Amino acid sequence: MKTIINRYIALTIVPLLLLNLLAVAQEVENPHVLKQYDFIYYENNTLNFYNDSSNFETLFGRLDDLIFEGKGKISVLQVGGSHIQADIWSDRIRQNFFKFSPGLNGGRGFLFPFTMAHTNNPYYYKVTYTGSWEGFRSSVKEHESEYGVSGITATTHDSLTSFQIAFRNKHCPKYDFNRVKVFHDLDSTGYKLAFVADSNHTVVVNEEIGYTEFLFDHYIDSVAFTITKTDTLQDHFNLYGLTLETDDPGIVYHAIGVNGASTESYLRCNKFTQHLSALKPDLVIFCMGINDAYHPDFSAKDYEHNYDTLVQWIRAVSPDAAIIFTTNNDSYYKRRYPNRRAEQIRTVMISLAKRHGAAVWDLYGVMGGLGSSRTWERNKLVKRDKIHFTRTGYRLVGDLMFSALVGAYDNHLKLAFE
């Protein structure tokens, strides 16, 4: 229960905070000011609740603590396919959170070195490596591998390899960290992982969850590791991803996406809940459906069942997590035929939200519904395939989603202090 003083702070500081953001220098973009297009249905840009929203009240209460008292940490997990792998949409929301209020940068969170799996990597961090690596994606049925929460695995059989991850200087905000978790196999067949650095650090191995953690006495902004065969029983190294964390309060925004991923793809990830327990999300944003809807044998019933299972996995680790289902963007088959299954996807997501006390963010409705991606394409927000967004489009989608989330948070403040 907030005190009277905290209520007063909330009522007075929030408007001042918003006004302050409006006055920020032009080179720093304000997450509250949406670029206006006459073809976007801004009135649909809300989080839609259908019954119980208590998990969101818990989430917003924790956000109150962060903003007004500087206490706590909030873990956000966004899961999807190629829309998320590029980390433009998700990173836009991440940066908007960090601009929303001072002190909300709680660390970069989970990432995967996609370059090592021979697929597209987010621009703002660079991955280099030595040795021969093979990539496996849960979205490719022919790929046989172990999979963690990332849905993608990089594997080497070379006896001595290395990899490095460094953020590009132009990226803002700066991501530095003092603890790193590397998710990999820890049984007797896996090669040994070591951090390459002159600085003092402590190593903690968590065999139950499946990661090696490196703890530093100062903050760093890049990592380098060696992977070495040290025993005749060892024959491989599977890399499932990393988290870059801090001890500071704030928001940690984990983005997990694999090209071509559907709901079924993540059900192939046998280590999903095992690794998820290290992330412990307070908010989960599901963005799977575009690839499900393109499958020739699409079944709304199976799609809903797959999501039910994924929600059960989330609840097993984070029982009180708030969940948002994101409807499909409008898209076309072969650039010519509108995909009407987006409307079936939306119907299923509303059903899921009612059953699981979740929310729906209706991207399909915000875009303008069936056929709207043509207009978005003409305005250089959607690519010619009428499936993927341009960089500008992804940033706009991130701004729209963030605005909807902040709108729900504003409603929480108004109701709490009536």
Q: What is the pTM of this model?
A: 0.92
CATH architecture of 107-247: Sandwich (2.60)
How far, CA to CA in Å, does 353 sit from each of 99, 280, 293?
Answer: 29, 20, 19
418 residues of the chain, pLDDT tens digit each? 444 334 434 444 444 444 444 333 333 455 567 999 999 999 999 999 998 889 999 999 999 999 999 999 999 999 999 999 999 999 999 999 999 888 899 999 999 999 999 999 999 999 999 999 999 999 999 999 999 999 999 999 999 999 999 998 775 667 899 999 999 999 999 999 999 976 689 999 999 999 999 999 999 999 999 999 999 999 999 999 999 999 999 999 999 999 999 999 999 999 999 999 999 999 999 999 999 998 889 999 999 999 999 999 999 999 999 999 999 999 987 777 778 899 999 999 999 999 999 999 999 999 999 999 999 999 999 999 999 999 999 999 999 999 999 999 999 999 877 7
Q: What is the fold, at CATH topology level, of the domain defined by 1-106+249-418?
A: Rossmann fold (3.40.50)
What residues pair up with 220 in beta bridges, in sequence order? 177
Neighbours of 177 (CB within 10 A): 20
DSSP state, residue 327: P
Here the tokens at position 350 are: 């509303």
Could you write out the DSSP letters of every residue in 92-141? HHHHHHHHHSTT-B---EEE--GGGGTS---TTEEEEEES--EEEETT-T
Domain boundaries, the chain: 1-106+249-418, 107-247
Q: In this predicted structure, what is the pLDDT of residue 31?
A: 56
Please give the DSSP secondary-structure letter assigned to residue 315.
H
Asked if 303 and 292 touch (Cβ cutoff 8 Å), the reply is yes
- pLDDT at residue 20 in the model: 42
